[in-house]
Amino acid sequence: MDTNLTRNFLVLAARFLSGTSIRWIDSQPDTCQRVYFANHTSHLDSIVLWSALPPAVRLLTRPVAAQDYWTAGPVRRYLSSKVFHAILIDRKEVKVHRSPVQMMIREIGDRYSILVFPEGSRSDGSEIREFKSGLYYLCKKRPDLELIPVHIDNMNRILPRGEVLPVPLLSCITFGPPIWLEAGETKTEFLQRARNAVRRLKEA
Amino acid sequence: MVLDARTLGLLGGVLVLLAAAAGAVRFLKSRADSGLDVAVLDTLSHRVRAWFLLFLVLAAAFLLGPNATVAMFGLLAFWALREFITLTPTRPGDHRTLFWVFFLITPLQFVLVALDWYELYSILIPVFAFLLLPARIALAGDYKRFLERTAKIEAGLLICVYCLSFAPAMLMLPLPGGDPHAGTRLLLFFVLIAQLGDALQYAWAQLPSKHVIVPTINPHKTWEGLLGGAGTATLLGAALWWATPFGGHWWWMAGLMALVTTLMGFAGSLTMSAIKRDRGVKDYGTLVEGHGGVLDRIDSLCFAAPIFFLLTKFWLEW
């Protein structure tokens, strides 16, 4: 099947199903290398957030996703490898020389942006969980990357944890102003600041 | 379906008027010294655009035939229900019930309308759905605020789906005279009067002396707006008698129907305002930036449609 066609069809389906309205607050779409980091409440998050990007940016943006989920079955395998060009992370066995952060850095090179969910797994949507440290180590290695906080609203009601069939409510994706790792900032401080940046967009 | 001269005249007239209104708004906007409030002009240009879209889609649906028109109203109901449920807090236990609401009950209601199965579509939601939904929610095992959650989902279904489905049902009414386009014109007359009623109430409410009807719920709805709007809509409705089945010595009935439509439309917007007030939002469409939602535009249609339909049905059976 034509990948481009599949991609466009998926984008349209995702946009319709999630009724997403997209807001950029103090922020602009750009093809420069970025890390989009968002709260995570639904399996739909990756695809809907990826679909919310303008086409030129979308082609350069690769979701970081769980290997066990996205290699189960031929459909998910096709989608993750051919359509989204996802960077798949092995959650089960984290090896020293193949750490997720090193893998991301290698995969993005000097061209791609990535889309990550630093909470690690899906929350129930009421409160954003503490961020995992991967985001910090990534910035340590690549301080030039722009970090764009993203808040995904209402997706947990469209497809909550443990459900297979979606309910077509409306959702909202908010992109916020970029942040960077400050000189001398500790891991805890930085992760807290990043989490607050996402949380602030909820009220914006 | 090829439309006849009267239907085309009515439809064309509406589109020409809207085009003129759009031109006028654009002209006023381009003149900074017009002395008019910018916010009012913005609202006006949004509304004109929404109406233009509504009537263009309606015209296309009419040309494609009754099934397309029913389908179009079905999509409108689907979208309105999405907006309603999005702003209504439900719990994870309601998820599967909501799936049935969106993908079974809503389409089924409109399929029954298209089949003209009045005996069933007039009770599908208020009897069958209203009994089955609470049972399905109970099956999910979450009893927290049970009655409240059930009532919210049922209210959404009733207003957005059940009530709105009576609008395309007008196409199936056995109207006198054997004119195949009489139903199309009746529906067009209804949508036109409901939207005009909204617009006229808004226009009359701009008068300087203001007696707000319910300040806690909607500060823009005034007695001047309601009386002026309803009066003007009644006159316009009577003047459009030639487009309705209320011909001959029944011409005043067109005016009466316009009056009822405007009053029901007022009741609809007021009710929806109360719900929005409670949820702390201004528009159902706040999720879509810069636009009022679909439900904001059709709340008057939803409330007026079943009454308009039933009154016409009673009149036919008189």
Q: Which residues of A are less than 8 Å from B92 in CB distance?
A: 124, 160
Sign of the C-alpha dihedral computed for residues A100, A200, B217 and B255 taken in this order: negative
Q: Which residues of A are less than 8 Å from B99 in CB distance?
A: 165-167
Q: Which residues of B are less than 8 Å from A166 in CB distance?
A: 99
Distance CA B184, CA B172 (A): 9
pLDDT tens readout for residues B9-29 = 888 889 998 999 888 888 888
Could you tell me the domains of chain A? 3-203 (3.40.1130.10)
Q: Looking at chain A, which residue has its C-alpha nearest residue B85?
A: A169
Mutate which of B75, B81, B98 to disrupt the A interface (most A C-beta within 10 Å)? B98
Distance CA B135, CA B133 (A): 5
Instruction: Kindly report the average pLDDT of chain A as a whole number.
Output: 90
Question: For residue B51, what pLDDT is reported?
Answer: 87
**Mean pLDDT of all residues in B32-56:** 79
Distance CA A29, CA A95 (A): 35
The residues on A that touch B, with CB distances below 8 Å, are: 19, 21, 23, 124, 154, 157, 160, 163, 165-172
Query: Hunting for tokens 């909820």 — which residue is that?
Result: A202
Instruction: Kindly report the average pLDDT of chain B as a whole number.
Output: 90
Which are the contacts of B1, defined by CB distance < 8 A and separation ≥ 6?
A: B62, B63, B64, B65
Mutate which of A48, A167, A174, A202 to disrupt the B interface (most B C-beta within 10 Å)? A167
Cross-chain CB nearest to B287 (options A21, A163, A167): A21
Three-state SS at B107: helix
Which burial class, exposed, middle or buried, applies to A55 when counting CB atoms under 10 A from its CB (0-12, 13-18, 19+)? exposed
Which residues partner with A179 through β-bridges? Answer: A147
Question: For residue B290, what pLDDT is reported?
Answer: 41
Which are the contacts of A108, defined by CB distance < 8 A and separation ≥ 6?
A: A33, A62, A87, A114
Question: For residue B180, what pLDDT is reported?
Answer: 83
Question: For residue B287, what pLDDT is reported?
Answer: 46
Q: B38-64 and B5-30 helices cross at what angle (nearest 10)?
A: 160
Structure tokens at B64: 């494609």
Secondary element (H or E) of residue A53: none
Question: For residue B206, what pLDDT is reported?
Answer: 83
In terms of Cα–Cα distance, which of B240, B232, B237, B238 is closest to B205?
Answer: B232
Nearest chain B Cα distance for residue A170, angstroms: 6
Q: Which residues of B are less than 8 Å from A169 in CB distance?
A: 82, 85-86
Question: For residue B155, what pLDDT is reported?
Answer: 96
Nearest chain A Cα distance for residue B81, angstroms: 9
**Mean pLDDT of all residues in B163-170:** 97
**B165, pLDDT greater than 80:** yes
**Mean pLDDT of all residues in B252-262:** 96
CA end-to-end distance (rounded Å), chain B = 31
Confidence class of residue A162 from pLDDT cuts 50, 70 and 90?
confident
Alpha helix ranges (H) inside chain B: 5-30, 38-64, 66-86, 95-100, 106-114, 118-121, 130-139, 146-156, 164-169, 182-204, 223-239, 251-279, 294-317
**Mean pLDDT of all residues in B68-81:** 95
Predicted structure pTM score: 0.90
Residue B203 and residue B195 in contact, taking contact as beta carbons nearer than 8 Å: no
Domain ranges in chain B are 1-64, 67-172, 176-318
Q: Which residues of A are less than 8 Å from B98 in CB distance?
A: 167
Q: Looking at chain B, which residue has its C-alpha nearest residue A172?
A: B287
Q: Which residues of B are less than 8 Å from A19 in CB distance?
A: 82, 86, 287
Question: For residue B288, what pLDDT is reported?
Answer: 44
Using alpha carbons only, how large is chain A's radius of gyration in Å? 16
Q: Which residues of A are less than 8 Å from B78 in CB distance?
A: 168
Whether A169 sits inside 8 A of B287 (CB atoms) is no
Q: Do the strands A171-175 and A20-24 form a parallel or antiparallel pair, or are they unpaired?
A: parallel
Question: For residue A1, what pLDDT is reported?
Answer: 56
- What does the DSSP 8-state code read for residue B176? T
pLDDT tens readout for residues A65-116 = 888 888 889 988 998 888 889 999 887 776 666 788 888 999 999 999 999 9
Nearest chain B Cα distance for residue A199, angstroms: 18
**Mean pLDDT of all residues in B253-264:** 96
Whether B95 sits inside 8 A of A167 (CB atoms) is yes
Whether B85 sits inside 8 A of A169 (CB atoms) is yes
Distance CA A62, CA A80 (A): 10
**B195, pLDDT greater than 50:** yes
**B291, pLDDT greater than 50:** no
**Mean pLDDT of all residues in A33-58:** 93
Distance CA B125, CA B108 (A): 10
**A39, pLDDT greater than 90:** yes
**B84, pLDDT greater than 70:** yes
Sequential DSSP letters for A74-138? HHHHHIIIIIS--EEE-SS---STT-HHHHHHHHHTTT-EEEE-TTSS---SSSPPPPPTHHHHH
**A169, pLDDT greater than 80:** yes
Distance CA B154, CA B143 (A): 17
Which are the contacts of B230, defined by CB distance < 8 A and separation ≥ 6?
A: B197, B201, B259, B262, B263, B266
Query: Hunting for tokens 């764009």 — which residue is that?
Result: A148
